[in-house]
Amino acid sequence: MPTLQSLFNIDTLSMIMMALIVVVGCIVGSFSTRYLKGDKQYQAFFILLCTLIIVLLVLVCTNHLAIFWAAWTLSNALLARLMLHKSDWQASRGSYHLALRTFSVGSIVLAAVCTLLYRATDSLDIQQILNSSLGSQHTLILAGLICVAMTQSAAWPFHHWLISSLNSPTPVSALMHAGLVNAGGFLLARFSPLFFEHQTALLIIFSVGVLNSILGTLWKLIQSDVKRQLACSTMSQMGFMMMQCGLGLFPAAVAHLTWHGLFKAQRFLGSASAAQEASLDEHTPPSLHEFVLALFSGCVAAVLFGLLSGNSLFANDTTCLLTCIAWIAGAQVALVFIQRHLYSGLIISMGVNALLGCLYGFSVHLFHNLFIPMHFSHPQPLHWVYWSGLICLLVAWLTMLFGGKFFCSVNIPIWRQKLYVRLLNASQPHPSTVTTHRNHYNV
Amino acid sequence: MNTALDEMIAKSWKTIAPFWPLKNLIAVNPLAGFEDQPISEALQDAWRYFQQHQFPPEIDVINRESIKWLKAYFDTGQSRIPLPLQHLDFLDTMIQLLCHDQRLIQNRSAMREWLKNCPHNPVELIETCLQKLSINPEHQQRFLTLMLTTLPGWAAYAEYLSMWAKDASMSREAFLAFRLLIACLVWPQPHQLLSWFDALRAPDPNQLGLQHMQSAENVFHQRLFSQLTQQRDPIPESQPDVQSVFCIDIRSEPFRRALESTGNHQTYGFAGFFGLTISVSCNGKTAASCPVLIQPTHTVKQITRDSGQVSRRLKQCWHRLTEVFQSINYAFTTPLALVETLAPAIGIWMSIKTFWPNHVHYFKSLNKHRVESLDISAVPLSDQTTFAENFLKTIGLTHKFSPLIMLCAHESETLNNAHASALDCGACGGRSGAANARVMAMICNTSDVRVSLAKRGIHVPDSTHFIAAVHQTTTDDVTLYEAELPEAHLDQVAQLKVQLKQAQQINLLQRAQALELDPDQDLQKATQRRKQDWAQVRPEWGLAGNAALIIAPRSLTTGIDLEGRVFLHDYQCESDLGNKILEVILTAPLIVAQWINAQYLFSTLDSVAFGAGSKVTQNIAGKIGVMQGNASDLMTGLSIQSVKQDDTTQHHQPVRLTTIVRAPQEAILAIVKKHPNLTNLIAHEWLHLFSIHPSSHEITVLRSNLTWGSSIAHAV
């Protein structure tokens, strides 16, 4: 009979995850006591919510492979059930079934992975498994894990369930985007020691991440309703988290999924104010002069990020990719100021960038330090795949920046019209989840 | 031109009432187009057109694709990469883009060719499509109507754009042509739709809610009439210390009652725009601040100034930070870094909002501009005088002026509420009425205006001062605009403030039960919290409960507990020569009240077909309206949370508007007969109209055959 101690293993990763689950759970719970007041499903919602939180806590703490799988499957089933809040509403049932189908794929593959792990190591103790060699099954196991993470984090081609999930009540969406989609990242982090020595697997994760990050952003920017815009944004953020996993920087990935969880919960819960939110950025393409100054100002953010996060600026490994992204973000911030007043804007923007660079660096540093005992951070040598990924991100950014009129110029070429329509169609929710007539909605 | 087709198009659009976008939601009767039929027939027609649940399956596809394109085209700022070709008008854009839509074309090159060569003139296109779909001329009318009524929410928005907002890129014909175009692409033989509709047999109108309505109305009438007839003629009282004018809004009634009980107060009711047909411009944006039925004639400028240097700087910083946030959030690659940078702060902010909503206002003030003063120089003196004269004469305040006269507008402030503007002043076009009250007070305080008024027989004493105020309907706070207050009035204003606080407390106690608040707690704090709580779906009850409009002097209703269900409009028939004023009241405030009443009535009767469903699953589309979930028709009307206590229990009682006018029968009847829309409303029983005889207090009803009868017989 295994002891309680062998069933559970509380390490940094589980503690951070527990903190996230409890904070988001409490906020969503407190919010819902007022938001769902008078709702027919009020009680059922809270029973499901509490059960889900408990199951998630078990999931992040367990050290037993079978419990891990059971908690994983159960939590997804509970989430799908929460999505089916208005069960008389046809479209909501559509979302429920779609999510359930995707989750079953994940769950079955995870079961296969667990079986393989057990057969390879003859152990159900996760820590023990991570420290033993897996022999010939290693590749298959890694492929399985990546597949499960992709279904959970709604990576293309498993993204349909997430962008069709908005028939759920707002608090459930908040919980889903702050919690359950992150489980993909958690899975990769939990089993990260298996990946460290296999750069090919990391490169695959990285490529999936880049693809989703760009595709998600593109879809997000063309959506005209607030909730689907947020769902597409989650897709791109999950892509970035996978990129960080692919870079071997698991602490950064965990930092990202934690902070993204809080960020997205706030965006969803506040989504009813979208109509009052004024759009402030006018977005005129900068002149070359402004652009160069902005890049210069962005360096401030990059340098401070590098210093604070403990990444050497000229490191010959994957940490420099994060620094590059900080640099791009810094340049974007600087443009807001520089496009208004060239030189005084530059000064102000450098100050703002210094502050933002510090904040970004600090949050990565915090997680980096927390994870030192777990030996989670394994920056990889720079491979051409990493470079191409970075170039893709850079090109996408520049296209949006300078080609703001890409899709809305007066003489827009036919191929761009076709591209737009294709993107629009690809980002539509599954037909069974659309309420085609208002009377199909059912309270 | 094809006049027969034009007529058919116009007729089919009669089924659709307009839908105003979220930034100024205006209440409308969703069945406004059916008002020329008896309500019993209209309910049956509405059942067939709007309350169906089963459709031929092809309608699903047509609607799904229509919603996709309409949402993208009419987006007003949610997407950051807008639809291509948006500079063209609606139909041109759609025809060009539909050519590339593989979901609709599905590699049928003949179809694509047809689409490329189809006429771009909407009426011609409708004709072409009707031919292609081979709809017989005798069925065309019905088919066009069904193309609208199967997607009523978006059709309502198109109706708003083309007929009310006068948007040149949109027309009724273009919307219909678009619907037919999609039908041509996915459903070449749509005759089934016609047979489906013909097979519908509407139930008895009594089962559609009419009977319930009637019995509830009878109970309401009996109670109200017994209260009104017991009312004695008031003993002429001493000169009141303060006179105040409130909006006719039903939320004013209990507050006025409370205020009157705190001292020697006289209150009046008048439409909250104070008769000012103005638009207000602020920071370069201009918006009409009068009922949508009226065209604004003048523009007044709001001058915003922030009190201190520090607070101005802070606001500037906040503004710039928001700009930075949006610029990083809506770009490629950069949002990835944004999350980690800002999330710790956002997490703290979210916790404060959720657990301690009382502290939110420290931060919220950063987003608001304080209006320092208003520039009314664009309104000529003669017009100012006319505005003041009409206003004072309508409510009968032409002599016996008190030293202090408060003009009280109202507004509502809520957080995270898509339908926030539905709680504002309907008479001001779904906005705060503060600007109107301030402008009217400024006009009445202008000495030149007073000189001109004196020439027209209204002598406002020099010792009288008009002060503007705004009533916060969520918390019952009243804010006075005290700038330029003469010293002589300082004491009176101080006393007024004390009384307003008392009135607030009294009214909150009356409202506590409906808001499910414990009357023993600090109600001011509790309602304050409600207003700032981002999770609150019922910050206040708005106009729920509305049932009647009383057009009479306040003395008829003083002291009667009308339970916040009645619009009160002051009117002195004795001084209304030629019944000009009554005509204005019956054709403007009455219609606004009837629209509001009908909106609440139908949103309660069927909260999905006429209401917006539950707030819990709403999703805002294009910043113009709400959808349900992933994608749906625009959900016009009110959410369940605005009319029901919970998913099943009604808070608003669905009744038709009862109008009681204290005026001679002949005067009322003459006006009703003169205006066809009023005749329709009475003859087809969309509202009840009663007259109270000015001297005998006898109440008589105007029956649907436009003759007067005893109200007792009616009630039984």
Report the C-alpha gap between A242 and A250 in whole angstroms.
9
> Average pLDDT over chain A, rounded to whole?
91
Going by pLDDT thresholds of 50, 70 and 90, the confidence category of residue A281 is low
Residue of chain A whose alpha carbon sits nearest to that of B356: A30
Cβ separation of B327 and A333 shorter than 8 Å? yes
Cβ separation of B619 and A407 shorter than 8 Å? no
Judge whether A264 and A237 are in contact, CB under 8 Å.
yes
Buried b (16+ CB within 10 A) or exposed e, B49-67: bbbbeebbebbbbbbbbbb
DSSP B555-603: GGTTT---TT-EEEE---GGG-GGGHHHHHHHHTHHHHHHHHHHHHHHH
Please give the pLDDT value at position B235. Answer: 65
Structure-block tokens of residue B590 = 């009455």
What average pLDDT does this structure show over B666-672?
A: 95
Cβ separation of B341 and A356 shorter than 8 Å? yes
Determine the residue type at A377: S
Above 50 in pLDDT, residue B285?
yes
Per the listing, tokens 């002097």 go with B553
Stretch 9-48 of chain A: residues touching chain B, C-beta under 8 Å: 23, 27, 30-40
Q: Give the range among A4-13, A24-33, B164-173 with minimum mean pLDDT.
A: A4-13
DSSP SS3 for B629: coil
Give the predicted TM-score (pTM) of the model: 0.94
> Which of B326, B355, B644 minimises the CB distance to A279?
B326
Note the pLDDT tens digit of each residue in A335-350: 989 988 888 889 999 9
Please give the pLDDT value at position A318. Answer: 84
Report the C-alpha gap between B334 and A220 in whole angstroms.
14
What average pLDDT does this structure show over B560-576?
A: 92
Per the listing, tokens 């050519």 go with B99
In chain A, residues with a C-beta closer than 8 Å to the C-beta of B23 are 275-276
Q: A350 — contact with chain B (CB < 8 Å)?
A: no
Judge whether B472 and B478 are in contact, CB under 8 Å.
yes
Cβ separation of A233 and B79 shorter than 8 Å? no
Report the C-alpha gap between B633 and B68 in whole angstroms.
10
Above 90 in pLDDT, residue B663?
yes
Cα four-point dihedral sign B586, B591, B594, B600: negative
Note the pLDDT tens digit of each residue in A383-403: 899 999 999 999 999 988 887
Q: How far is CA A65 from the centre of its chain?
A: 24
Distance from CA of B397 to the nearest CA of A (A): 39
Number of Cβ within a 10 Å radius of residue B14: 14
> Which of A164, A283, A420 minimises the CB distance to B84?
A420
Above 80 in pLDDT, residue B712?
no
What letter does residue B240 receive in the DSSP assignment?
Answer: P
Above 80 in pLDDT, residue B234?
no
Distance from CA of A119 to the nearest CA of B (A): 39
Distance from CA of B516 to the nearest CA of A (A): 11
Dmax (CA) of chain B: 86
Above 80 in pLDDT, residue B126?
yes
> Average pLDDT over chain B, rounded to whole?
90
Quote the strand ranges of B395-530, DSSP E: 404-411, 465-472, 477-480
Count helices and strands in chain B by DSSP H and E runs = 27, 17
Structure-block tokens of residue A353 = 């960038």
DSSP B15-70: T------GGG-----TTGGGTTS-HHHHHHHHHHHHS-----HHHHHHHHHHHHHH
What average pLDDT does this structure show over B196-213?
A: 91
Cβ separation of A169 and B331 shorter than 8 Å? no
What average pLDDT does this structure show over A344-367?
A: 90
Judge whether B222 and B381 are in contact, CB under 8 Å.
no
Please give the pLDDT value at position B715. Answer: 46
Report the C-alpha gap between B664 and B560 in whole angstroms.
23
Residue of chain B whose alpha carbon sits nearest to that of A235: B336
Q: How far is CA B77 from CA A225, A421, B43, B81, in A?
A: 10, 19, 37, 9
- The 3-class SS string of B637-677 reads CCCHHHHECCCCCECCCCCCCEEEEECCHHHHHHHHHHCHH
Q: B106 — contact with chain A (CB < 8 Å)?
A: no
Q: How far is CA B613 from CA B98, B311, B608, B628, in A?
A: 31, 41, 5, 8
Quote the strand ranges of A47-179, DSSP E: none
Report the C-alpha gap between B600 and B619 in whole angstroms.
21
Going by pLDDT thresholds of 50, 70 and 90, the confidence category of residue B381 is very high
Please give the pLDDT value at position B80. Answer: 86
Judge whether B64 and A434 are in contact, CB under 8 Å.
yes
Please give the pLDDT value at position A372. Answer: 84
- Phi and psi for B353 in degrees, rounded to 5? -60, -35
Report the C-alpha gap between B282 and B129 in whole angstroms.
46
Judge whether A280 and B77 are in contact, CB under 8 Å.
no
Cα four-point dihedral sign B642, B648, B652, B657: positive
Paired residues of B269 in beta bridges? B246
Please give the pLDDT value at position B716. Answer: 41
Per the listing, tokens 């970035």 go with A240
Q: A237 — contact with chain B (CB < 8 Å)?
A: yes
Whether ipTM exceeds 0.85: yes
Report the C-alpha gap between B343 and A264 in whole angstroms.
9
Please give the pLDDT value at position A256. Answer: 93
Cα four-point dihedral sign A71, A74, A80, A82: negative
Going by pLDDT thresholds of 50, 70 and 90, the confidence category of residue B306 is low
Cβ separation of B150 and A168 shorter than 8 Å? no
What average pLDDT does this structure show over A198-221?
A: 94
What average pLDDT does this structure show over B617-635?
A: 94
Closest of B454, B458, B460, B651 to residue B538, by C-alpha:
B651
Cβ separation of A396 and B617 shorter than 8 Å? no
Stretch 436-455 of chain B: residues touching chain A, C-beta under 8 Å: none
Report the C-alpha gap between B368 and B361 in whole angstroms.
11
> Which of A40, A170, A364 minimises the CB distance to B647?
A40
Judge whether B304 and B370 are in contact, CB under 8 Å.
yes
